[in-house]
Amino acid sequence: MPENTPIALVTGSAQRLGAHTAQLLHERGWNVVIHFRSRREKAQDLSEAMNQQRPNSAVALQADLSKMADINYLGTKAIEHWGRLDALVNNASVFYPNPTPEATEDDWDSIMHTNLKAPFFLLQTCLPALRASSGSVVNLIDIYSEKPLPEHPLYCASKAGLAALTRSWAKDLAPTVRVNGVSPGAILWPEGDAAVDASYQLKILAQTPLNRTGTPDDIARTIVFLLTEAPFITGQVISVDGGRSLNM
């Protein structure tokens, strides 16, 4: 590996937006640490495909971001693998409805630990390496961090907290480390228990001035822009939402 090859850790990058971000960084010449919790096969397939394109350019690491030991393990191993770290992308997230009357302490822990606690302590672990490389952080937030989604109070609170951390870190870690955020709008519809029906999808699109969903590449390109082409931008949260936040 050339000495100047930049290294990125992207959490939750076995699939969806995280995978697209990891792939675009890899295409731009970065080495990538692909984090996964349960999608081992997808993470390993992605890593192997990258290594076929460029040997020793990707590695897959498993960690449960609700556990402190796993958070510390992930950050430590990500740095040790190539001996440096230039970017941290906090993409991993838990999303599901939890109306206040029915929400449990387990819901609180599940959402807050992954969406807010993990980014904080992962950055703490990675900070010496990021300072050494004058690196950069991008946090995946959400347009619902400012204008909440009904029946999702814990999710919205966790993302609002991550937005606040983004701005706090930008002040505290300057001038060495830049920290920014990206807030997606309608890009990929939720899956599993959080899936939404077709009528709700149409309602979302009707509120979106560009009248369409975005693509994963819209998010990935914005993240890569902030990491590689924005040396004078820090403390900003960019909404990539087709203008939907104007109508919420």
pLDDT in tens, 91-144: 999 999 999 999 999 999 999 999 999 999 999 999 999 999 999 999 999 998
CA dist., res. 55 & res. 222, Å (int): 27
What pLDDT score was predicted for residue 110?
95
What pLDDT was estimated at residue 189?
Answer: 63
Structure tokens at 230: 């924005």
**Can you tell me the mean pLDDT for 39-46?**
96
- The reported pLDDT for the residue numbered 29 is 97
Q: Which of 73, 144, 155, 200 is catalytic?
A: 155
- Mark whether 144 is an active-site residue: no
Cα(247)–Cα(210) distance, rounded to whole angstroms?
A: 12
Q: Is residue 207 very low, low, confident or very high in pLDDT (cuts 50, 70, 90)?
A: confident
Please state the domain extents for the chain.
7-237
Centre a 10 Å sphere on the Cβ of residue 95 and count the other Cβ atoms it contains. Answer: 20
Choose between 102 and 211: higher pLDDT.
Answer: 102
Alpha carbon distance 245, 248 (integer Å):
5
DSSP notation for 146-193: TSPPTT-HHHHHHHHHHHHHHHHHHHHSTTT-EEEEEEE-SSS---GG
**Looking at residues 228-247, what average pLDDT do you find?**
92
Q: In the CATH scheme, what architecture does the domain 7-237 have?
A: 3-Layer(aba) Sandwich (3.40)
- The pLDDT of residue 151 is above 70: yes
